[in-house]
Amino acid sequence: MLTSGLQHVAAMYAGVVAPPLIVGAAVGLSGTELTFLTGASLFTAGLATFLQTLGVWKIGARLPFVNGVTFAGVAPMLAIVDTTKDKADALPVIFGAIIVAGLLGFIAAPWFSRLVRFFPPVVTGTVITLIGVSLLPVAFGWAQGPSPAADDYGSTTYLSLAAITLVIVLLLRRFTRGFLKQVAVLVGLVLGTLIAIPFGVADFSPVTEADVVGFPTPFHFGAPQFALAAIISMCVVMLVSMTESTADMLALGEIVERPADEKTIAAGLRADTLGSALSPLFNGFMCSAFAQNIGLVAMTRIRSRFVVAWGGGFLLLMGLSPVAASLISVVPRPVLGGAGVVLFGSVAASGIQTLVKAGLEKDNNVLIVAVSLAVGIVPITAPEFYHAFPETAKIILDSGISTGCVAAVLLNLVFNHLGRNRDDDTVTAPMEPGDDISGTAAAKAVHVH
């Protein structure tokens, strides 16, 4: 039970510490403060995992779920940081928005469990893809070095360290099995850091300065602040997170042969949202289920929720030990960038896998995905696109995940729910090489029954 619980932590460790590293770096936190923020995320992940696996009253799906910081919130939080004049206020604004979004999500959980039909694979797949695509620029920035203002930013040394780390992770995933394969990203970070030492890139000062035992003091970065635009943005993220968690519960229910019904989904969503609402109290971010651990349950066939609860216990202990949390702060940014390519790219690939099940042979669904992805990628490909909008609006618009999610939901309603669905009658097949353009639609119309 202990080793299996530790394996669950190893499989999700890189994922749970990445968001605080990204947001903390954007805010400009010192190494010590970054260690504190990372430890807080580990601690709150443990609390959220306890809520989900063990459950209290009608809270918790009581399934082998590991909970932690969701990637869906990273891009909107970065947008909040960018639009906050005083960076010292950025984290309090983010925490205030998460508290409100979590409480509203907790109240809405029973009703949301009945609205799953409005979030089919064509919507969830698009959103998950956007999450991965939105985070990839962060990995590319890490690969170039710790500071864009430095003269050696983007040097061959930094890029080589990122490439070496990426190759190590790929080789481990290709030629190893079992536990070592599951922790390939973690091993890649360790080996990449060791290789970086001779180049003088690794900094071990956060470890030497960290205490062995510590507690994430409540509201360490200041009392929460409540800004309307930030709250709206995080409420959209909460909807995305609840959608992902619902899909994860349905998948895990099938794996453990205990299908998740409406009651189970509602209880699981309450755990997610309550965990998110409580997380900022201890300086943590929005929490959600970790999909990679569902794959681990399927692979090992160890279906006990108490095994995962032990994993939650390990997360709590790591959060209470700043030295343990500081270890990830030692990893050089280029090494993180190399691993981040795999980590964030895997998120995008998961979205594509979901889109494969979305029925993209239908013209309507193709249009939904095409337009939603285009809207969501705007902040990445054209960062100044919304420069003429008010600052409060830019917090939402500069988050491709939020805008892409809203676009996908609205387009799905228009094309697949309102009025007669024309795609049920005709689907246009793609052109074959040599087809005559004129009359192609008529020649390629396929009736669907």
CA distance 431 to 440: 7
Mean pLDDT of 350-365: 83
Task: Please enumerate in sequence order all residues whose Cβ is within 8 A of that of 438, keeping only pairs 6 or more positions apart, or say none.
Answer: none
pLDDT of residue 157: 92
Contact by Cβ (8 Å): 270, 109: yes
Contact by Cβ (8 Å): 173, 11: no
Q: Helix or strand or coil: residue 446?
A: strand
pLDDT of residue 433: 43
CA distance 339 to 63: 29
Q: Which residue has the higher pLDDT, 131 or 281?
A: 281
Q: Which two tokens stand for residue 423?
A: 């795609």
Report CA Rg, the chain: 22
CA distance 416 to 412: 5
Q: How many other CB atoms are there within 10 angstroms of residue 153's CB atom?
A: 13
Identify which of 203, 221, 429 has the alpha carbon closest to the alpha carbon of residue 331.
203
Mean pLDDT of 165-175: 91
pTM beyond cutoff 0.85: no
Task: Work out the angle at residue 305's Cα, subtended by the Cα atoms of residues 260 and 316, and round it to the nearest 5 degrees.
Answer: 125
pLDDT of residue 434: 43
Residue ranges in 87-227 assigned as alpha helix (H):
90-112, 121-143, 156-175, 178-182, 184-196, 205-209
Residue 340: its H or E element:
helix 333-356
Mean pLDDT of 409-430: 66
pLDDT of residue 425: 43
Q: Which residue has the higher pLDDT, 326 or 175?
A: 175
CA distance 203 to 198: 11
Mean pLDDT of 94-118: 88
Q: Helix or strand or coil: residue 59?
A: strand
Q: Which two tokens stand for residue 182?
A: 């599951």
Q: How many CA atoms lie within 13 A of 269 on its CB side?
A: 32
Judged on CB neighbours under 10 Å (0-12, 13-18, 19+), 142 is: buried
Q: What is the dihedral of CA 209, 213, 217, 222, to 10 degrees?
A: 10
Asked if pLDDT for residue 346 goes beyond 60, the answer is yes
If pLDDT is split at 50, 70 and 90, which confidence band does 439 have? very low
pLDDT of residue 182: 67
CA distance 397 to 61: 34
Beta bridge partners of 445: 428
Q: How many other CB atoms are there within 10 angstroms of residue 345's CB atom?
A: 16
Beta bridge partners of 287: 69
Task: Work out the angle at residue 308's Cα, subtended by the Cα atoms of residues 307 and 312, and round it to the nearest 5 degrees.
Answer: 120
Mean pLDDT of 58-62: 88
Mean pLDDT of 327-355: 81
Mean pLDDT of 59-71: 85
User: What type of residue is 45?
Assistant: A
Mean pLDDT of 22-44: 86
If pLDDT is split at 50, 70 and 90, which confidence band does 93 have? very high
Contact by Cβ (8 Å): 312, 50: yes
Average pLDDT of the chain, as a whole number: 81
Q: How many residues does the chain have?
A: 449
Identify which of 401, 44, 443 has the alpha carbon closest to the alpha carbon of residue 233.
401
pLDDT of residue 292: 62
If pLDDT is split at 50, 70 and 90, which confidence band does 318 have? confident
pLDDT of residue 420: 54
CA distance 90 to 78: 9
Mean pLDDT of 266-286: 92
